[in-house]
Amino acid sequence: MARALRPGARFAVETGMAAESILPTLGGRFQTEVEGLRLLIENHYEATESRLDTDYTFVRGAERETRRLGHWIYTVSEIRSLMAEAGFRIGGMFGSLRQEPYRLCDRFLYVVAEKTE
């Protein structure tokens, strides 16, 4: 992204996968059902890899299908460092679109940055 933007351009990122957002409230298993489709969600956090693997199982009648997604989990400090290394200056890190300061357990992290070079 840094190569595509001119110096001074602003860039916004939203994530629900910051470590401070997801890990304190991470549950192991969830399920829900909508119009005869049951969704089972099972989370496995690999601490030594900082990776969350989630199995999504869809069940409708006798049909069953499972898909696994992997998510790399970064701390807010790591996100800040990665963005700085890419040539961005952080203008703000927020916990809501109302620009409230980001806090532990906020559902989302919103980062506003500016391309420096």
pLDDT of the chain along its 117 residues, tens only?
888 999 999 999 999 999 999 999 898 899 999 999 999 999 999 999 999 999 999 999 999 999 999 999 999 999 999 999 999 999 999 999 999 999 999 999 999 999 998
The pLDDT, as a whole number, for residue 100 is 96
The pLDDT, as a whole number, for residue 1 is 85
Co-location of 116 and 80 in the same domain: yes
Co-location of 111 and 90 in the same domain: yes
Co-location of 65 and 89 in the same domain: no
Number of structural domains in the chain = 2
* DSSP code per residue over 5-48: SPTT-EEEEEES-BHHHHGGG--SEEEEEETTEEEEEEEEEETT
Domain with 13 in it: 1-18+74-117
Domain final residue pick, 35, 54, 72? 72
The pLDDT, as a whole number, for residue 7 is 93
Co-location of 78 and 117 in the same domain: yes
Give the domain CATH number at 96: 3.30.1660
The pLDDT, as a whole number, for residue 103 is 96
